[in-house]
Structure 1
Amino acid sequence: MSDKEKSRAKAEQAKGKVKETAGRAVGNESMTAEGRAEKAKGDARQAKEKMKDVFKR
């Protein structure tokens, strides 16, 4: 996994987690949903990069 993509995936996951938690804390369902979506995007990016690593070998 390239370092740039790995850090990007981790950043998206962290940002999504924070946004989801903040949305739950203030009772904002829209923000919570956005956070979940962002976290899922980071998870998908990380999975894609891991698959690329597997097929490189």
Structure 2
Amino acid sequence: MPPAAVALALRIWGHLHGLVSLEVLGHLRAQITNPAKLYHNEIARLISSLGLIPPNGTA
């Protein structure tokens, strides 16, 4: 794979891994009430950062 593709994959994986780790370890409870909404928004933002249109056109 080209270095740019590897870097992109690591960036996305690291971002999502971090969010999951924070939730599993209970560090998000004090900050958010709806983890599903957070994940949806973050996935939409990552999709937008790739120049793609997220599902339902949300960002």
Measured against the shorter chain, the TM-score band is 0.3 to 0.5
- Normalised TM-score (structure 1): 0.47
- Normalised TM-score (structure 2): 0.46
Q: Which has the higher contact order (CA 8 A, sep 6+)?
A: 1
Higher helix share: 1
